Amino acid sequence: MNSNLLHQNFIERISALLNNARNKIVNTVNQTMVLTYFEIGRMIVEEEQTGKDKADYGKEIIKRLSIKLIADFGKGFSTRNIEQMRSFYIKYAKGQTVSDKFKLSWSHYLNLMRIDDEKERNFYEIELSKNNEQIFASKYSTILPSKEKLKQLIQE
């Protein structure tokens, strides 16, 4: 075998190993951050439930927390981002265990949280975790038959 070809194969295998390690690191960091944001959301919700006037108290908690976290950890903790962490906990707390969930990136979950229908949101979450890609078309709506078609199928 040609020495250059052997050398090239050797380099490609090492490159593949390094790329695999990088991907695992990115996935681990993403999952850790998503779990952290979920826990921050949980802590905010629990703290809000102890407040007297929950709506005003909740806004004040988020505002103060934002100021402190930005001072300690830099940008990324605006009131809007912290409110999203709270919403994330509220939308995803029901029926999930910490070890199994959150295999997607934070940006995926931010997009998924825009979907009010839980079944549709779960569908996209599964699709994204299987394909690890962005879904731009409304695949859920195009796969499922319309309500009228479902009624017709049930009656048949």
pLDDT per residue as tens digits for the range 87-118? 999 998 875 555 467 788 899 899 999 998 88
Cβ burial, residue 77 (10 Å; 0-12/13-18/19+): buried
pLDDT at 99: 47
pLDDT per residue as tens digits for the range 17-72? 999 999 999 989 999 999 999 999 999 998 888 765 565 667 889 999 999 999 99
Q: Which helix (H) or strand (E) holds 111?
A: helix 106-112
Give the CA distances from residue 32 to residues 36, 52, 109, 124, in Å, rounded to whole numbers and listed in that order. 6, 33, 14, 21
Q: What DSSP line would sit under 61-79, residue for residue?
A: HHHHHHHHHHHHH-SS--H
Q: Which helix (H) or strand (E) holds 129?
A: helix 118-131
CA distance linking residue 29 with residue 94, whole number of Å: 24
